[in-house]
Structure 1
Amino acid sequence: MFVESVVRWGLWSILLQFGLGVSAGGCTPRCLCRPEAKEVICSGKHLNSVPEALSSDARRLDLSRNRIKTVGRRQFSGLVKLQELDLSDNIISMIEVEAFLGLQNLRTLRIKNNRLKIIPVGVFSGLSSLNFLDLSQNEILVFLDYTFKEMVNLQTLEAGENDLVFISQRAFFGLQNLQELNLDRSNLTSIPTEALSQLQSLTRLRMLRLTISTLPNNAFRKLQHLRSLLITNWPALDTIAGNSLIGLNLTSLVISSCNLSAVPYSALRHLVYLRFLDLSYNPITVIQGNLLGDLLRLQELHLAGGSLLRIEPGAFRGLAYFRMLNVTSNQLTTLEESAFHSVGNLQVLRLDGNPLACDCRLLWVFRRRVRLNFDGHQPTCSSPDTVRQREFKDFLEKELPRVFTCRPARIMHRRPQEERVEEGTTVLFSCKADGDPSPSITWISSHKNVISPAGRIRVLPNGTLEVRFAQVQDSGTYQCLASNAAGNDTLTVSLYVKGLPRNRNMSLFTEEGLVEPSNTQAANSSAQMAKPYPFDAKTLIIATTMGFLSFLSSVAICFVFMFFWSQSKGQIKHTATIDFVPRSSMGGGGGDGGDGGRFTMKLI
């Protein structure tokens, strides 16, 4: 008896060692069973198919990292208690319809990193309790209508890193409780708006590494529960329509590593619940003033690794909860306190990686450098030369009044400028200023309007005011305002434009400029060219019709005369002489001294 037991134990050990098809306690050979956890682990066992005789009590089955090619119909029908199934990292290219039928308690299904190209409708039948589905890293080309229709409790769908070129409009039909969708590294060329509109419970949408160039209007319509939208690594994305995000109640928005050249203010203005905004790694050059005020709840703005040259005063005005600004690795030389609603709310500031000019404009940062969190990255001065490469933390309090100074703006050459010119003359008014930092030049018209760099009256890049082809209405005073962080200076100039007399040869003002005729003939020619054509189309049509009718009447009279002439009784006449009196060329009637005309008509 003892010998028999020893032999039986030895045979059992050999069978286990070579993986023969014998099981003990319901555990499949080659697999590791954990009865206490109700797990069957068959990962990395070089299996070519799903093993049979699996324990019906198993709650977790791991078949990852094998060589399984096909999953047949009702392959797991006996595992009624199974809650988690992992088929990742196989070479599965075919899953038959109803392959998972009977797994009514399954919560998690992973089919990641296989060779699926298409998922037939009905593959996921019976998975009404599934919460998590991972289809990423396959070769799926299209999601067909009703692919997921029975998965009413699915909450997370990982569908990234496929070859998706199209998502059918009703592909997501039935996913009424889906909360998170990830579509990364696909070949989609446009936003699948109609398909996404089926996901009315979606709270998080992630779309990475796509080739889409435009976010159109209403791109995410009907997603009123969406809270987080992540768009990153779209190198072609350069256009975001003004109503592309309308209807969304986002709290977090990331549009990074794209090709945006400006902050999409129009698209953002609807997002009154937004708290986190990341526009990093876009070629954005400026954050304009007073355009983010609608984002009432915004707390964090990240714009790292961009091309920022300036942040204008009032850029964050109205943002009472704003506490973090990250503009590391840009081209900023300064950041003025006037950009913020209240610097007292600011907690974290990332300014490192910028060519900062350490002058009076940054003094507010130095005075708060102990309480302000730089997130472990101290800003460094790039200028002036006396403090180059010094970190903010290295400055002593007593140095600040001496080092961080500015020189107020001052207008040079303040000579009186008054121009009295005739209409059509081009006038230039100079305004040069110096200061530290370099002052900006602004011109204000006599109507208190700021003059732009474009138009007939414009400000040139060097600060000069140009009035091209001056008109009488341009007369008045103009004010030059030179300003920097340390102060302002102003200069007033005068322009008087005299109108041209009416009895002179008037010059013509065109879009190309003022045209002055060289002589009377040229002036008359220009006036004639400017005069509208005296006849309209209706008059020409009536005149033509009347002339044509007169011609037909004359021809008809001739034919009638010929008819009656040919019908004369007994008299055959082969010729007829017709006398006529022509109308005077000057409009007068025929007189006694007028000679009539005569022609002969021969009848054949």
Structure 2
Amino acid sequence: MRLLCGLLLLLCLVVWATEARKGGKGRRMRSRERSSTTKRFAADCKESTVNGEKFFDCQERHLKAVLLGWPEDIHHLLLARNRIQVLRDNTFSHFRNLKSLDLQQNEISRIEEGAFNGLSRLTTLLLQHNRLQVASEGMLIPMPQLKYLRLHDNPWRCDCQLESLVRFIQVPSNRNIGNYAHCTEPREFWGRQLKKLDAELLCSPQQENVLIPHPDNQPLPASQKKPDATSLCHTYVHPVPRLDCRNRDLKTVPADIPLDIVRLDLSRNNIKQLRPKEFVNVKDLKLLNLSGNSLESIDTASFTGLLHLGELDLSNNSLRYFQYGVLEDLYFLKRLSLEDNPWICDYNIHYLIYWLKHHPGVSHTGLVCSEPEEFRGWPVENYVKTYNADCPIDKQLGQVPGTDPAGITAQELTAEIDEEELGPIPYRGPKKFEIIRLT
């Protein structure tokens, strides 16, 4: 009887274990299904969280429209460098937490008036580098918190259809709305900034026949005008304001760098010289990349105003030394890249070593002698140490302390000056001077 009960108990345990394994396998399969869905979703766009705010990065995905199924609780939507052509009504209405929307470098030529419905919390809208010709103030009404609107590098047609937008841009409190945007047509308004355009003229019936007398009407010759950063370069807002001017064949630092830029990339251009106060208005700049140019000289005041700059890349240029004072404004510099420059190890290089010695918190790389031949490949610091080596001490020359090379003591060099050499009578009298050789 006991044996029968034992067999029944064993059978029950086997059945229970089998069911448990099936249930666990089912749970694992469901879990794998859920994780695979997440992976497929992440493969299209990248979702991340920074400082408690959610970013959804769909840049360079060849998108022609906003897709369904994207998370609706995001705070920043990045759609730059896609192929979107039209923004239709309520395109973003389900992203009600959105604070910034980056649509730059698409092919947008039309925005319906209700495209931004629901974006009551949006503060930043980037529409630069598109194909917009007309737009109205009405499209901005759903965004009462809007503070930053970038519209430059669009072929704006400055006529009556643009009047309401121009008037909105010119409201004094909208200081960061529509900066740097220019008219492309008609001819009499070519090159005029929307910020400075007389809105009354846009709907004038005589507009086509009247040439507006304004100094901005005719473009200045290229030789007299610095390249415009807003039209040549790409601006990004998140995670920090950044201006990308790489590979633009620039020969000078571009004008009109936006004042809020934190990171500026001017690498791989043809800038040969930095002039005084090139960056004086970009007071928040923390990273400046000038690598891969043809830099030969930097003016003493080139970095004036960059009190917050933390990283400076000057690698792969033609720098031979720094003028005295070039780095004096860079109080918070932490990293200095100097490699691949033909540094000349002579007296002119001493300022750079002196400055680095008194700023031990600055990490620097690539400071190696290129000339003269006997110091080629030496770290510049080692060259300066040999230059400043102590003079040989007296005993190394076999001299008795207190004597000069001829063996004359300091006491023997004491001279009594004749009275006739001492001047007027009140000052006459014997004087003794001790001559001491300095080693």
| C-alpha distance in structure 2 between counterparts of 1:253 and 1:216, whole Å | 23
| C-alpha distance in structure 2 between counterparts of 1:14 and 1:365, whole Å | 72
> 1:314 Cα deviation (Å)?
2.5
> Which residue does the alignment assign to 2:295?
308
| C-alpha distance in structure 1 between counterparts of 2:131 and 2:348, whole Å | 45
> 1:42 Cα deviation (Å)?
1.5
| C-alpha distance in structure 2 between counterparts of 1:396 and 1:224, whole Å | 50
> 1:124 Cα deviation (Å)?
7.4
Q: In 1, are the aligned partners of 2:100 and 2:124 still within 8 Å (CA)?
A: yes
| C-alpha distance in structure 2 between counterparts of 1:284 and 1:321, whole Å | 23
Which of 148, 171, 190 is the equivalent residue of 2:92?
148
| C-alpha distance in structure 2 between counterparts of 1:265 and 1:115, whole Å | 30
Change (3 A) 1:356 1:243: same
> Which residue does the alignment assign to 2:176?
224
Q: Could you state the TM-score of these two structures normalised by the residue count of structure 1? A: 0.38
> 1:291 Cα deviation (Å)?
3.9
Change (3 A) 1:345 1:178: closer
> Which residue does the alignment assign to 2:218?
none
> Which residue does the alignment assign to 2:246?
257
Structure with more contact order per residue of length (Cα contacts < 8 Å, sep ≥ 6): 2
Any idea what the Cα deviations from partners look like across 1:526-562, whole Å, max 9, x if unmatched? xxxxxxxxxxxxxxxxxxxxxxxxxxxxxxxxxxxxx
> 1:12 Cα deviation (Å)?
6.5
| C-alpha distance in structure 2 between counterparts of 1:131 and 1:384, whole Å | 57
Change (3 A) 1:291 1:43: closer
Q: Could you state the TM-score of these two structures normalised by the residue count of structure 2? A: 0.50
Unaligned segments of structure 2, at least 5 residues:
1-7, 46-52, 157-164, 179-225, 391-439
Q: In 2, are the aligned partners of 1:325 and 1:350 still within 8 Å (CA)?
A: yes
> Which residue does the alignment assign to 1:174?
118
Q: What SS is found at the alignment partner of 1:175?
A: coil
> Which residue does the alignment assign to 1:329?
316
Q: Which amino acid aligns with 2:250?
A: S
1:289 has 2:276 as partner = yes
> Which residue does the alignment assign to 1:547?
none
Length, aligned pairs only:
303
Q: Which amino acid aligns with 1:224?
A: N
Q: What SS is found at the alignment partner of 2:350?
A: helix
> Which residue does the alignment assign to 2:107?
165
Q: Which amino acid aligns with 1:311?
A: I
Q: What SS is found at the alignment partner of 1:262?
A: coil
1:43 has 2:30 as partner = no
| C-alpha distance in structure 2 between counterparts of 1:361 and 1:4, whole Å | 92
Give the number of the structure whose residues are more often strand, by fraction.
Answer: 1
Q: Which amino acid aligns with 2:91?
A: T
Q: In 1, are the aligned partners of 2:81 and 2:106 still within 8 Å (CA)?
A: no
Which of 355, 364, 367 is the equivalent residue of 1:379?
367
> 1:31 Cα deviation (Å)?
1.2
Q: In 1, are the aligned partners of 2:74 and 2:98 still within 8 Å (CA)?
A: yes
Greater C-alpha Rg: 1
Any idea what the Cα deviations from partners look like across 1:319-360, whole Å, max 9, x if unmatched? 555565321111222221244554777654322211122333
User: How do residues 577-592 of structure 1 correspond to structure 2 at under 5 angstroms?
Assistant: none
Q: In 1, are the aligned partners of 2:283 and 2:306 still within 8 Å (CA)?
A: yes
User: How do residues 312-391 of structure 1 correspond to structure 2 at under 5 angstroms?
Assistant: 312-319=299-306, 324-340=311-327, 342=329, 348-372=335-359, 375-391=363-379
Change (3 A) 1:244 1:293: same
| C-alpha distance in structure 2 between counterparts of 1:254 and 1:354, whole Å | 25
> Which residue does the alignment assign to 1:266?
255
Q: In 1, are the aligned partners of 2:278 and 2:302 still within 8 Å (CA)?
A: yes
Change (3 A) 1:157 1:383: same
Give the number of the structure whose residues are more often helix, by fraction.
Answer: 2
